[in-house]
């Protein structure tokens, strides 16, 4: 196994765990807060042999929407954190005014640690994008609230933009842009 593949698998573990945990936590929170009636059925066939059933379709949509919201938030927070941190870190090399602003805000220790990379951001954004696309598809199917689908769409656009921006910053590090000589 190559070093790159090993690193990709190592980075991919946390977003995958958070994606599943966010969905399960959302289901549990919805059941506790709204005191919902449900029953569990065990079917022998298929991968998903344990099924959770609710009494009516509105309850199912409520639980699905809340669990999707938790799942997206749990993935979006670290992704946005990594994108902002990398953008500010790379901007400090190009703009001295950014260093002054960072010093005034007293976040120099946070910014100077370069523990994010393009690969990390790409994988987190990919997980957020896939999750957002699943939520958007469920919204189109009518099994999710529309405002959660709109939020997922906005986060998908932001994650794509963040990935592209980070890629541009990494490319600028490798191949710096030369100012026009004319």
pLDDT band for position 114 (50/70/90)?
low
Question: Is residue 23 scored above 50 in pLDDT?
Answer: yes
- CA dist list (Å): 67 to 39, 70, 81: 17, 5, 22
User: Model-level pTM?
Assistant: 0.85
3-state SS, the chain, equals: CCHHHHHHHHHHHHHHHHHHHHHHHHHHHHHHHHCCCEEEEECCCCCCCEEEEECCHHHHHHHHHHHHHHHHHHHHHHHHHHHHHHHHHHHHHHCHHHHHHHHHCCCHHHHHCCCCCHHHHHHHHHHHHHHHHHHHHHHHHCCCCHHHHHHHHHHHHHHHHHHHHHHHHHHHHHCCCCCCCC
Question: Is residue 2 scored above 70 in pLDDT?
Answer: yes
Q: How far is CA 68 from the centre of its chain?
A: 12
In the chain, what are the domain boundaries? Answer: 3-28+57-174
Question: Is residue 181 scored above 50 in pLDDT?
Answer: no
Q: Residue 138 and residue 90: Cα distance in Å, rounded?
A: 37
What is the pLDDT, as a whole number, of residue 180?
A: 46
List, for residues 25-72, the tens digit of each pLDDT value: 999 999 999 999 888 888 766 676 778 889 899 999 999 999 999 999
How far apart are the two ends of the chain, measured CA to CA in Å?
A: 49
């Amino acid at each position: 196994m190559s070093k790159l593949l090993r690193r990709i698998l190592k980075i991919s573990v946390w977003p995958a765990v958070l994606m599943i945990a966010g969905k399960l936590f959302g289901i549990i929170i919805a059941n506790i807060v709204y005191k919902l009636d449900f029953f569990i059925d065990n079917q022998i066939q298929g991968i998903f042999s344990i099924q959770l059933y609710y009494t009516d379709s509105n309850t199912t949509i409520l639980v699905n929407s809340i669990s999707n919201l938790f799942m997206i938030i749990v993935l979006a927070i670290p992704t946005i954190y990594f994108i902002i941190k990398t953008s500010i870190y790379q901007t400090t090399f190009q703009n001295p005014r950014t260093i002054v602003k960072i010093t005034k805000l007293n976040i120099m220790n946070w910014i100077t640690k370069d523990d994010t990379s393009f690969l990390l951001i790409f994988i987190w954004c990919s997980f957020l994008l896939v999750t957002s696309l699943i939520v958007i598809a469920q919204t189109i199917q009518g099994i999710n609230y529309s405002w959660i689908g709109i939020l997922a769409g906005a986060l998908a656009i932001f994650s794509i933009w963040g990935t592209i921006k980070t890629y541009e910053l990494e490319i600028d590090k490798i191949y710096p842009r030369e100012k026009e000589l004319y």
